[in-house]
Each structure stands twice: as C-alpha cells, then as structure tokens.
C-alpha cells in the first residue's frame, strides 16, 4: 500500500520534511482556503503540487485529495444546484488534468467528525480524542435545547448529562462547543449555538431517505465526469456512524455502503475505508465490511477505537481497540494482489494512519486535533510492521 500522510497545507505545524522522516511518500491534502462550492483552478492545484514537490530529495507527491467538499446546499437539496454541480465537475477535471486522481469526500450534514474531548489524559501524560455520550447529550439537550433530544436517550445517559450540565461552568460549555466544532479543519463556518440552530433548521425536512436521494443525485451528476477523466471518488463514512442532533447519517454501515456503490455502477464510485469511523458503530464488523467492499476501496484510513456500552468511545492505539487490524490489512493486501494480477496500473491502495495520540514532545503543540506527528508516526510504524509481516508470510505485494 502507498503510505501517505495528511497535511493541512502551508500553515500546518508539521512540515513536509517532517513527513518524509515518517517514511510516508504520499501527501493527503486539500485547498482548505477555497470556499465550498468554488472551482479549484488549475493554477491553485499546480501551486499546491509545486509546494509539495519543491524539494525533490523528499520524494513526496500529492497522492489524495481530502477533501473536495460537497456544498451544504447539495446535501439539503436546496435551490438551483446546477452551478454547484458544474463547479464540482470542473474541479474534478482540473484535478485530473494535474494528475491528482483520488478524491476523498463526505456527505455528513453540517458537521464532520465529532468528539467531546480533544485531549483525554492517557497514562504517562499523553492525550487522546474521545466521544463521551453524556457530554454530547448535555450539549444536545441542554445547550442546543433540541426538541425531542431527551426522548432519544437512555435514562442513565440523560441523568449523567443533566448532572454534567448542572455542574458545568460557562467556560466548560464554551469548550464543549469548540470541541464539537473541531472536526471541521477546512470549514469557513464555526457555529455558535444560535447559528447551529439555524443550520439545523435548514435540515428540518431532510430525513434519511431524502438525504440518501440527495446523495444519489450528487453521484448521478459527478460520477460520469469522474469516470471520463479517470478520477476515483471515495466517500468517507460517518463519524460517529449514528444520527447527531437530529441529523440523519447515511454512510454508517454495510447496507449504506451497498446502496452508495450500487447507486451509480462505475469504477469511479468507491469508498474510503475508515476503520475508526465504522469501528465506532457497535453493529459494524469492520473486517467483514473490508472484505465485502474490497474492490471498491480507493483509499484507507487505518485507526482504532475502543467502544463502551453507553455509546462512548475513545481513540485507541492503531493495533489496539476493537477492530482486528491485521485482518483488515490482509484484506487490503489481497485486494492489491487481485488488482495487480488484473493489470490495473493503479493497483496500490493509498493508506494513511488516521488520528493519533498526543505523545512526548507533541503534547500541547498547536497541531490539528487528532493529527499530532508522533502519535501518527507510531501508528504508521505499527501498521507498516503488520503490512510487511503479512506481505512476507503470504507473498503479497506491498
């Protein structure tokens, strides 16, 4: 597999030379400064490519776009969408012309990944991302005051949520809001409570079925162009894979993925296998999902989570947690072998170590939440070891 690394661009604390030290050679990045719905011009794409390749001794290339965002109006199905579809298609053409042909995107309404703690303490002084069910419930029920939210909770979680809210300070509540907003590294909107309510109100008539239909329409509009220019679209699963704040989630399990890849039958219509996002769903068998959709996996995020009975979960070590990572890696290497045997020139699957603990000298540095250097370096080293061992034992290409 091609070992890649997410880089947030020129302002990222982690520099390209640091990435090369990890052993990764592929860069996963996006033009976060361009507003959603605006065309990514060839000039902007080439400027980012040139920045990545400026030091030839590093041997880095722009391997994957993460993400080319889908405008919120497309998800809602709101207004005249043709200009937005036209712009998205043009961005795909421009990326293909510049040789960047793997595109990760998501269809999560309003928020991307969601956590309530960004620095949960670990033994020895490290920190991890964590989703606490009672804190999320406190936000939804008592800060956002969403009608009907309390009825969706177990009595135990609701009681803990009320206790947290009653004891919390204004500072605690501001921090919880900021943590929940932190999964939007490239977004131009950071909602306050009134703004979030207004955004949710735009989704008032959008249930899971309508959101699914809006996703299907998006695929009908863009996948033919993606196939024409040789772009591989890879949808990212919901994180966490459950409804949030009354918003539906439609990329949460194997049935959702089956619908998506079947909506438009094309080699360009595929998925990002995110083992952490899918792994946060109690009913998801991630190794089985990897096997079922192996031929549709265009990109892989490899990380692990440890789940708790109340719906809470925490980012675990990459080889810890609830998902059998050896099984997943084996499936990906076997799929690579199948593609290579079939003569596919793009047989390698790009992967990256997703999220990581804050460790050692990274503790307290202003890195993007979940994306410190040392924790991801540790994860990549562990995953590389698994990849090498499985490859050697089974005679599979790396």
CA–CA dist 64, 42 (Å, integer): 16
CB-CB contact of 396 with 389 (8 Å): no
Tell me whether residue 354 is one of the annotated catalytic residues.
yes
pLDDT of residue 184: 66
- The whole-number pLDDT of residue 191 equals 86
Confidence (pLDDT) at 115 = 97
Is 91 within 8 Å of 100 (Cβ atoms)? no
Q: Which candidate in 318, 354, 357, 362 is catalytic?
A: 354
Q: Which residues of the chain have pLDDT under 70?
A: 184-189
* 301 part of the active site: yes
Helix ranges (DSSP H) in the chain:
16-22, 42-53, 72-76, 82-97, 133-138, 155-167, 170-181, 193-202, 208-229, 254-263, 275-279, 286-292, 325-341, 373-394
Identify the bridge partners of residue 232 per DSSP, sorted by sequence position.
102
Question: Tokens 């997943």 identify what position?
Answer: 328
To the query of whether residue 163 is one of the catalytic residues in this protein, the response is: no
Q: What pLDDT was estimated at residue 183?
A: 76
Q: Is 236 a catalytic residue?
A: yes
Integer angstrom CA distances of residue 303 from 15, 136, 275, 300: 22, 22, 6, 10
- 141 in catalytic set: no
**Which domains, and CATH codes, for the chain?**
2-114+201-394 (3.20.20.150)
Task: Give the DSSP letter string of 280-340.
Answer: TSTT--HHHHHHHTGGGEEEEEE--EEE-TTS-EEE--TTSSSS-HHHHHHHHHHHHHHHH
Of 120, 134, 318, 355, which one is the catalytic site residue? Answer: 355
Q: Which of 120, 298, 301, 318 is an active site residue?
A: 301
Q: Of these residues, 236, 298, 318, 357, which one is catalytic?
A: 236
């Amino acid at each position: 597999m091609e070992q890649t690394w997410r880089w947030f661009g020129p302002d990222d604390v982690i520099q390209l030379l640091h990435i090369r030290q990890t052993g990764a050679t592929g860069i996963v990045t996006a033009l976060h400064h361009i507003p959603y719905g605006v065309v990514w011009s060839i000039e902007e794409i080439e400027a980012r490519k040139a920045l990545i390749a400026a030091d030839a001794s590093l041997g880095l290339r722009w391997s994957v776009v993460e993400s080319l965002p889908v405008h919120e109006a497309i998800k809602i199905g709101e207004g005249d969408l043709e200009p937005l579809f036209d712009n998205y298609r043009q961005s795909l053409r421009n990326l293909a012309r510049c040789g960047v042909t793997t595109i990760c995107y998501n269809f999560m309404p309003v928020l991307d990944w969601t956590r309530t703690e960004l620095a949960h303490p670990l033994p020895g002084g490290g920190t991890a991302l964590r989703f606490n069910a009672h804190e999320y419930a406190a936000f939804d029920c008592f800060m956002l005051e969403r009608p009907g939210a309390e009825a969706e909770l177990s009595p135990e979680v609701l009681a803990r949520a009320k206790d947290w809210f009653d004891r919390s300070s204004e500072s605690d509540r501001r921090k919880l809001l900021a943590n929940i907003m932190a999964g939007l590294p490239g977004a131009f909107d950071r909602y306050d409570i009134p703004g979030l309510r207004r955004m949710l109100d735009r989704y008032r008539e959008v249930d899971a079925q309508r959101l699914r239909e809006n996703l299907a329409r998006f695929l009908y509009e863009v996948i033919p162009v993606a196939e024409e220019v040789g772009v591989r679209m890879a949808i990212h699963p919901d994180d966490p894979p459950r409804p949030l704040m009354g918003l539906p989630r439609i990329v949460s399990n194997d049935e959702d993925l089956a619908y998506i890849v079947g909506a438009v039958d094309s080699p360009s219509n595929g998925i990002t296998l995110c083992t952490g996002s899918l792994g946060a769903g109690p009913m998801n068998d991630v190794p089985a999902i990897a096997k079922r959709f192996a031929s549709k996996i265009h990109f892989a995020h490899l990380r692990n989570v440890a789940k708790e009975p109340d719906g809470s979960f925490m980012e675990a070590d990459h080889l810890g947690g609830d998902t059998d990572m050896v099984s997943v890696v084996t499936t990906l290497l076997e799929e690579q072998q199948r593609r290579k045997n079939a003569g596919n020139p793009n047989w390698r699957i790009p992967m990256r170590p997703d999220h990581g603990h804050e460790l050692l000298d990274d503790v307290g540095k202003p890195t993007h939440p979940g994306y410190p250097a040392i924790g991801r370096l540790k994860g990549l080293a562990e995953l590389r070891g698994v990849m090498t061992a499985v490859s050697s034992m089974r005679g599979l290409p790396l």
